Structure 1
Amino acid sequence: MQLTDALAIAAPAARAAAAPRLVLGMATTQQDVRAVQRLRYRLFVEDMGLSALMRADGLDSDEFDDHCDHLIVRDADTMEVVGTYRLLSPTGARRIGRVYSEGEFDMSRLNGLRGRMVEAGRACIDPDYRGGSVLMLLWAGLVDYVQRQNCDYFAGCASIGLADGGHNAVAVYDKLRATHLAPAEFRVTPHLPFPYQKLTPAAVPQIPPLLKGYLRSGAWICGDPAWDPDFDSADLFVLLPLANLDARYARHYGVGAMPIAA
């Protein structure tokens, strides 16, 4: 079953909300990957003003791109890429020898999950398309991909910006560790911890939309945040067992239409 066919069955609500302007698929050519890398560069580097990461080629790329699959949403009228997710399957992780998140966290407690875990990262959506439909399509495609890989988990880093000096990141972490902390056997340890103990939390935590979506679907945060100085963010490692997927979201994403391996 092709991804678009699966979504026609598994995510009619997402398709109805998005139609007819949006098309979901996978990058199949180097040109597609370059379009993804240009979008990521514009949003992660140019729009955030990260001069240290500026590159003459205008691409956000690294050694993981060649080992990943790239989920993309296009505007059906212009065929421009307006949303993307980078997905590292267990096979891709074995080829490169690690997952991206290991650059930020000691993940040794999760060694037993590696063959059943897809790592999702580099999620971004063009600001003109952030009404919800693109994110819904990306999520439906992500869950479909995890199932087709015969995996039980997806994982990745969720970033919280530090433009306010880190006060919101502290407030978000204080809130989530009380409600969404993973069981001890799924905890990770940051290589470069974000010093949340030294900062005053913001009065009202503002949880980023992507992280909020993970949590609503049943994800855990797996320990203290790491500090990513390149992207000026506090990063939480997030793990979602598909068995935890909230029933409402499971209906949207098609979980239950096919069995999930134990």
Structure 2
Amino acid sequence: MVNAPHVAHPLQTPVKTGETLGRIGSLEVRMARNFYEVKKAQRLRYQVFYQEMSAIADAHTLATRRDADPFDDYCDHLLVVDHASMKRNKLGRLKPEIVGTYRILRQEIADRHSGFYTAGEYDVQSLVDANSGKRFMELGRSCVLKPYRNKKTVELLWHGIWAYVLRHKIDVMLGCASIESTNPDAIAGQLAFLHHNARAPEEWRVRAVEDRYVEMNRMPAEEINAKEALRALPPLVKGYLRLGAFIGDGAVIDHQFGTTDVLIIMPVSELNTRYVNYYGADASRYSSEQPA
């Protein structure tokens, strides 16, 4: 892994509600402006997680057709909107369609509420406590509308995240990433590949909570078809690996969402230099001032 140079956090002001963080053509990445936009992001999450994938909806989720939980009320919501695809809201006004989203929870906000969502699956508090001088941020609920699952949308989402990291002086990103399947044996190659090739070094290692721990070391390294395992991994997980992410110790089965989760840990100091340089040390690559 190539270590990134020290990032001096050149942008000083926190990200504002609704602020634009980048643009490519008709696509804009920005923070949600109000609860109505958060509800639209929740509808997008429902469409992807429950209708397209295999999440199991309870009665309330079915009735509202939104993927929502208490964390949504105090998280920040990063959105990609398409100004070329305008939709009428309940008041009849045309608004750009929300086509991608990420949920962001900073440590100081988590501390004032119920902690990190990820703590239900991994002992992340031990890592936070061991790095008391560092600022942590949780990423979650990532999804993109099917026609927009391309390089441009993903790059905009990551441009927005990078700008957010710089503005809030974040040192470590973490969160769960999902592999579709609740049968670890069916995805043994992927889990073992991550265990042998991306497991976090001891100082960054976090273990799954004991009663949910699923062993990832399901086959010896020499028996893994690395090319096949890498190809099978979800695009989001592969993207994290390219950025220089570490993987936690043990997987967790999430029966509600029909997935097996792995923990992603991304210290900013360990990010791949190539990607830091690509988005810009000041997150200027797709800044709204530049031509699309």
TM-score by length of 1: 0.85
The alignment status of 1:180 with 2:187, answered yes or no, reads no
Q: Which residue of 2 aligns with 1:241?
A: 267
Match of 1:111 among 121, 128, 132: 128
Q: CA–CA distance in 2 between the matches of 1:223 and 1:256?
A: 33
Kept after mapping to 1: 8 A contact 2:193/2:224: no
Q: Which residue of 1 aligns with 2:208?
A: 190
The alignment status of 1:213 with 2:234, answered yes or no, reads no
Match of 1:90 among 107, 112, 117: 107
- Mapping of 1:104-143 within 5 angstroms? 104-112=121-129, 113=131, 116-143=135-162
Q: Which residue of 1 aligns with 2:92?
A: none
C-alpha displacement of 1:220:
0.4
Any idea what SS the aligned residue of 2:63 has? coil
The alignment status of 1:71 with 2:88, answered yes or no, reads no
Bigger shift: 149-158 or 51-60? Answer: 51-60
Q: Which residue of 1 aligns with 2:45?
A: 40
Any idea what SS the aligned residue of 2:53 has? coil
Kept after mapping to 1: 8 A contact 2:191/2:217: no
Q: What letter matches 1:94 in structure 2?
A: D
Q: CA–CA distance in 2 between the matches of 1:167 and 1:148?
A: 42
**CA displacement, residues 56-107 of structure 1 (integer Å, 9 cap, x when unaligned):** 0111110100111000001111210000000001222112131010011122
**CA displacement, residues 130-150 of structure 1 (integer Å, 9 cap, x when unaligned):** 111111111111111112111
Q: Which residue of 1 aligns with 2:176?
A: 157
Q: CA–CA distance in 2 between the matches of 1:179 and 1:188?
A: 16
C-alpha displacement of 1:245:
1.5
Q: Which residue of 2 aligns with 1:50?
A: 55
| C-alpha distance 67-236 of structure 1, shift in aligned 2 (>3 A) | same
Any idea what SS the aligned residue of 1:176 has? helix
**CA displacement, residues 195-214 of structure 1 (integer Å, 9 cap, x when unaligned):** 55679998521111111111
| C-alpha distance 256-61 of structure 1, shift in aligned 2 (>3 A) | same
Which segments of 5 or more consecutive residues in structure 2 lack a partner in the other structure? 1-12, 87-95, 285-292
The alignment status of 1:29 with 2:31, answered yes or no, reads no
**CA displacement, residues 179-231 of structure 1 (integer Å, 9 cap, x when unaligned):** 21111132222231235567999852111111111111111002111111111
Kept after mapping to 1: 8 A contact 2:107/2:135: yes
C-alpha displacement of 1:256:
6.1
Kept after mapping to 1: 8 A contact 2:253/2:261: yes
Bigger shift: 97-106 or 43-52? Answer: 43-52
Q: CA–CA distance in 2 between the matches of 1:43 and 1:120?
A: 17
Q: What letter matches 1:64 in structure 2?
A: F
**Bigger Rg, which one:** 2
C-alpha displacement of 1:167:
4.2
Which segments of 5 or more consecutive residues in structure 1 lack a partner in the other structure? 8-14
Q: CA–CA distance in 1 between the matches of 2:21 and 2:150?
A: 23
Q: What letter matches 1:81 in structure 2?
A: I
Any idea what SS the aligned residue of 2:203 has? helix
Q: What letter matches 1:226 in structure 2?
A: V
Over aligned residues, Cα RMSD in angstroms? 2.5
